[in-house]
Amino acid sequence: MMNRTFILSPRFAALSSIILLAALSRLLPHWPNFTPVAAIALFGGAHYGKRMQAFLVPLAALFLSDLVLGFHHTMWAVYLGFVLTVIFGLGLRGKVALLPLSATVMGSSVVFFLLTNFGSWLGSPFYAQTMTGLLTAYTAGLPFFLNSLAGDLFFSGALFGSFYWLQQRYPALRGSGLNA
């Protein structure tokens, strides 16, 4: 039988609410690629105590928002990049501070860019399936990468900052996260 205490804990509820609100913000008008996707993955990886929750809750939030927004042929690359970003977030556990967070956001943004643009190139009728075609795909994606990086930095600051603020106001949210 599943232990309901960790699911209904204040920490779990706060983390999940922040992620859900961030995922819902994808449905609002925004600049291209200026979204909370990477921030959701990093935040979940860094704060959920159980690895299964760190992957499933953010993935579920992304999937639910994608049900509304729609899917495309390179979703495999988006979801793979998202899972890798959760893994980056796991590396932040116990080290959530400005410098490690900023470096992790930038590193995960680059990996996500490389992976999703590779996915856009792979089998595409728009790009030659050569090294030159791949470089053309990466070049075409640069403006979107800059928006993604700006969004990743902004939303990571918002998610991590809001949870830090909540922890200061509500001590029950502090802790190792083993029950969240």
Confidence label for 1 from pLDDT (cuts 50, 70 and 90): very low
Count helices and strands in the chain by DSSP H and E runs: 7, 0
Residue 8 has pLDDT above 90, yes or no: no
List phi, psi (to 5°) of 69: -75, -30
CA–CA distance, 42 with 57 (Å, rounded to integer): 12
Q: Which two tokens stand for residue 9?
A: 């804990």
Q: Express each pLDDT in 58-92 by its tens digit.
A: 999 999 999 999 999 999 999 999 999 999 999 99
* 19 contacts 58 by C-beta, under 8 angstroms: yes
- Nearest alpha-carbon partner for 91 in 107, 114, 112: 107
Model pLDDT, residue 89: 97
Model pLDDT, residue 4: 53
CA–CA distance, 74 with 60 (Å, rounded to integer): 18
Q: Does domain 11-170 have CATH number 1.10.1760?
A: yes
Contacts 24+ apart (CB under 8 A), 25-32: 26/65, 26/69, 27/65, 27/68, 27/69, 30/151, 31/147, 31/151, 32/144, 32/147
* 89 contacts 101 by C-beta, under 8 angstroms: no
Domain spans, the chain: 11-170
Q: Which two tokens stand for residue 129?
A: 């399936």
* 27 contacts 69 by C-beta, under 8 angstroms: yes
Residue 178 has pLDDT above 70, yes or no: no
